Chain A
């Protein structure tokens, strides 16, 4: 019984993990149809924000929940203005440029902070379920993922900005024809997506430690989740994260973590062969 609960909890945590990893990326993809290849380094930047600010005595929760999103969000806006915006309409070039940015960030941060792992203490400690020890922090992750999705949903559903975003996600050409100021929409999108990614990076920092090359460990999962999800941020991310999270976690239970990612990729390839536009490209077409 206890074991079942622990396994179920692990499954939910795996899904929450993917939701956190992918949401920021999914917003950018849904609105702009580009993938930010520097996504992993944006996560890393969120992690470093926590390390540095807590090192200066800032409360860890403030660092994670407030500072990291702000810092990475502002960075994202700068990147959009200086790079992405110049490549509007050249989608592949913008992928290449963000990949270049990714390497520039890895190299740059290495030059500044060196190439060693900085640990971040996991807040809250553990609790026991029967004979099993479970970190309380797992619940923070699950709660954060739920809160994040709810927040995105509320913004999309109830605000004017959300209305514009929904229009753009469902039909990018149409909204431009309607005279929506795409310049601002894209800048805001990239900023918000980056902020969410920074938030995710900060939450991950206690689990993984922080190192300049950490991003590479997360991008496979993030990218796969986003492209299998398709253009709708919430339904897409949630359905893909649920499906892929269960598959990879199941595989991890069976064979260890190495094949988890490989199983994820295989599942994604089969799925994309059947649904080339991702899950929400065909099934939940009108969803958010």
Chain B
């Protein structure tokens, strides 16, 4: 952690991989595949939102889909009304952020324990889902956008060049723009985590009592972290809405929240790459299983979740990392050098 982001080779490797995928994929791959992997990009942003607040703020949200859905619906309603997508994209960040701050105020200033926090976040998403489901009638409209209840909102505008609503992005360009979003968010989070604010968040995750005994306002920090996570999830929701040109209450469902949790758990809590890897891996797996009729996808998701908790609580990336580190220590031992303590890296 003492090492600044700019001196971490891993950071450059990640950015380089991202840029390479961003520019090479549209040239190499056919349209259908590009559209498929665009989905992974969008959901990776969603995974990052939870990976950040859980891994670097110690906040386990069981209802992250509430922000995803809020962003998606904000974008849908705003873009249908405005006939443009630029400001709606900004709103899809701002409104979930504000909602996160408000909810966070209740939870963290009320000093709710972990269990209460989990239950409250879950229930918020659940009730949001119920409310949206009940807005099928024509009386539930905001401006010219009908909320559509369980039928969802169709015909959501495709992203366009800012300032020129007639310049739609084609799927290849959309993929590149979304990759750009993902990269920018990843880089921003890396710097945020390495900043003084980020270090304090981590210290709060490590030991809340000590953080407040050093004079840090734990409640305020948690509200900010939670709100940032909400905003990022909101952007992911907006990306999802414009990518599908359609949004329905499934985006707020418990299954959506559970997916985010499973991705982060699978990839590893406390890393940023982990959630992205977990997301891509598991979404790909779901896609494969989707072709098999007998297996129910929810059952699979549930089973994976249980296995992760019971058998692989650290997730893939940290497990791999400690295996590597273990190997390194053994190798050092063989060279006759005792390693007395683990030097802190990240």
Contacts and interface: CB of A to CB of B under 8 A. Distances in A.
Contacts of B297: 107
A101 B114 CA distance: 20
Interface stretch (A128-136, A162-170, A258-266): A258-266
B341 to A, nearest CB: 26
Nearest to A215: B254
Interface in A36-81: 37
B285 to A, nearest CB: 15
Contact of B296 (A108, A274, A276): A108
Contacts of A220: 123, 126-127, 130
B47 to A, nearest CB: 16
A91 B115 contact: yes
Contact of B302 (A90, A105, A111): A105
Interface of A: 33-35, 37, 83, 86-87, 90-93, 95-97, 99-108, 110-111, 216, 219-220, 223-224, 226-227, 258-259, 261-262, 265, 268-270, 272-274, 276-277
13 contacts: A34-B115, A37-B122, A96-B308, A102-B302, A104-B299, A107-B297, A219-B123, A220-B127, A261-B130, A262-B131, A272-B106, A272-B116, A273-B109
A110 B297 CA distance: 11
Nearest to A96: B309
Interface majority SS on B: helix, strand, loop or mixed?
helix
Contacts of A91: 114-115
A261 B125 CA distance: 12
B310 interface: yes
Interface of B: 60, 62, 106-107, 109-116, 118-120, 122-124, 126-127, 130-131, 134, 254-255, 258, 261, 265, 294-310, 313
A113 to B, nearest CB: 12
A106 B116 contact: no
Q: 7 tightest A-B contacts by CB?
A: A107-B299, A103-B302, A100-B305, A104-B302, A107-B296, A100-B306, A107-B298
Nearest to A29: B115
B111 A104 contact: no
Interface majority SS on A: helix, strand, loop or mixed?
helix
Given A95-B62, A269-B106, A83 B126 contact: no
A192 B118 CA distance: 24
The residue in A37, A87, A90, A110 that gathers the most chain B C-beta atoms within 10 A of its C-beta is A37
Contact of A103 (B255, B307, B308): B255
The residue in B62, B254, B265 that gathers the most chain A C-beta atoms within 10 A of its C-beta is B254
A151 to B, nearest CB: 26
Contact of A92 (B118, B123, B295, B310): B118
A94 to B, nearest CB: 8
Contact of A99 (B107, B120, B258, B313): B258
Contact of B112 (A108, A261, A276): A276
Contact of A258 (B110, B122, B134, B300): B134
A37 B123 CA distance: 11
A90 B114 CA distance: 11
Contact of A96 (B255, B261, B296): B261
A124 to B, nearest CB: 30
A168 to B, nearest CB: 16
B110 A100 contact: no
A102 B313 CA distance: 19
A226 B305 CA distance: 25
A221 to B, nearest CB: 9
Given A100-B304, A101-B306, A104-B306, A95 B118 contact: yes
Contacts of A86: 310
B298 A103 contact: yes
Contacts of A110: 296, 298-299
A13 to B, nearest CB: 21
Given A111-B299, A273-B110, A93 B313 contact: yes
Nearest to A100: B305
Nearest to B60: A92
Given A99-B258, A265-B123, A273-B110, A227 B296 contact: no
Contacts of B254: 216
The residue in A87, A92, A99, A224 that gathers the most chain B C-beta atoms within 10 A of its C-beta is A99
B106 A103 contact: no
B306 A261 contact: no
A101 B308 CA distance: 12
A127 to B, nearest CB: 31
Nearest to B307: A100
A99 B122 CA distance: 11
A86 B310 CA distance: 8
B122 A223 contact: yes
Given A86-B310, A220-B123, A265-B124, 16 more contacts: A34-B115, A92-B115, A93-B309, A95-B62, A97-B306, A97-B310, A103-B255, A105-B302, A111-B294, A111-B299, A219-B126, A220-B126, A226-B119, A227-B120, A258-B130, A272-B112
B123 A96 contact: no
A206 to B, nearest CB: 22
Contacts of A99: 62, 258, 261, 302, 305
B296 A35 contact: no
A35 B255 CA distance: 18
B266 to A, nearest CB: 12
A270 B105 CA distance: 11
Contacts of A95: 62, 115, 118
A100 B114 contact: no
A272 B296 contact: no
A220 B123 CA distance: 5
